[in-house]
Structure 1
């Protein structure tokens, strides 16, 4: 297992978002975390990545306890993530956005150095791989929503995480860009990166996932390969409304 939580709990006032969620995600695979709106998926991501502190339970990554650690420490441990709403710097160019994922000396102090030039080339490489290299000099605010999703992912990948958490990568993305995201995830997974994806687009989930965990009311109710999840009665009842 690469990422594991035990008894993870979080409440907001009188509303329980996570209810003792014990979950394991598989190293080297494309994992998906699905469930109806309000089932705790994004709260789970936020607890895992240090955006909020859980009320109880533990977060373990490759055997290391990350419970309650600051986001930058979790990122340094090898976990990167995107968000439902893109987090880019709107008045910075696409290239500058990707470079901002590099430690501070890389963006400001090192732009004229050999290392800085290497980082610029690497950032351009990620923009090229995601098909938006032609937008390198455009401000992020001028990009379409789908292009901003790709830009945010390029920034995450610039930090070279071993495990990538994607929060609704298909949200608001047109079919052409969605296909590109799906292909890229499988390519990067084949190169050794682990993925955990929160997503409502079931076609995407079923086509790229190796392992799926289903949440309902803040806890897992089913897990397994796509073939098993498609026919699980608990999933059909809780998530698909059948």
Structure 2
């Protein structure tokens, strides 16, 4: 990627990232830089490559070519736990929680490497328990601490998954469709939480179809179409970009 500026050295970047499934290129030489310390959004029509991009960045799948860099470190093709330790946390479009564990235990599992083993052995540090409870409180689900995840609503499970991600203290958080299936009250809570956590220094990259949420909380938006970025900028610019309207509306 060449010599990096101080700002670039703190960024999540990709260069010429490419991934094909069969004969279809889900990512087509996608080069993107997300702004550190900001709320970034990644939007685009269905099938534009957004989730594939997240999966390549976070090590869920390996790109065919190209590079993923975070804070100047090459993370291309690294395993998910390596990516997480580098400071990247990620939620999923379909929540990944342990359905038969309580909310508190779900968050404790994410406390540190070996968290599930610690849970099975019944051994958790007091500091981890206190911190897990504080995240449940921060997300407004402390009253569900002893409730099994399977008995929580979809929106509450999304908050629980996010609490687990935050438990590992990532510098950058990637959210995959946080608004999907969430009622308006919880959606407002998620939006406020993102802005508050961003104000405290965390970077966000959000894949989302809810344009009201995207436009209200994002500082910088990248628009994908057919596996590569076609536009980027602040919400005020993206709203009126003809390329974006064409990608979404076919005009």
Query: TM-score normalised by the shorter chain: which range applies?
Result: over 0.9
Whether the 8 Å contact between 1:35 and 1:239 is mirrored in structure 2 is: yes
Cα distance between partner residues in 1 of 2:109 and 2:164: 7
Cα distance between partner residues in 2 of 1:204 and 1:89: 28
Q: Deviations over 1:119-159 (max 9, x none)?
A: 00100000000000000000000000000000000000000
Relative to structure 1, the CA distance from residue 17 to residue 27 in structure 2 (aligned partners, 3 Å threshold; closer, same or farther) is same
1:64 aligned partner: 73
Whether the 8 Å contact between 1:94 and 1:135 is mirrored in structure 2 is: yes
Equivalent residue runs for 1:22-101 within 5 Å = 22-101=31-110
Give the one of 180, 183, 206 matched to 2:189: 180
Equivalent residue runs for 1:164-203 within 5 Å = 164-203=173-212
Whether the 8 Å contact between 2:15 and 2:32 is mirrored in structure 1 is: yes
Query: TM-score normalized by structure 2?
Result: 0.93
Regions of 4+ moved over 4 Å: 109-113
Give the one of 122, 128, 140 matched to 2:131: 122
Are residue 220 (structure 1) and residue 229 (structure 2) matched?
Answer: yes
Equivalent residue runs for 1:223-234 within 5 Å = 223-234=232-243
Whether the 8 Å contact between 1:5 and 1:24 is mirrored in structure 2 is: yes
- Segments of 5+ residues of structure 1 without an aligned counterpart are none
- Segments of 5+ residues of structure 2 without an aligned counterpart are 1-7
Residue 234 of structure 1: how far off its partner (Å): 0.3
SS of match in other structure, 2:237: helix
Q: Deviations over 1:86-129 (max 9, x none)?
A: 0000000000000010222683488656xx11100100000000
Cα distance between partner residues in 2 of 1:125 and 1:43: 33
Are residue 4 (structure 1) and residue 22 (structure 2) matched?
Answer: no
Are residue 104 (structure 1) and residue 114 (structure 2) matched?
Answer: yes
Whether the 8 Å contact between 1:111 and 1:117 is mirrored in structure 2 is: no
Q: How many residue pairs get matched? A: 240
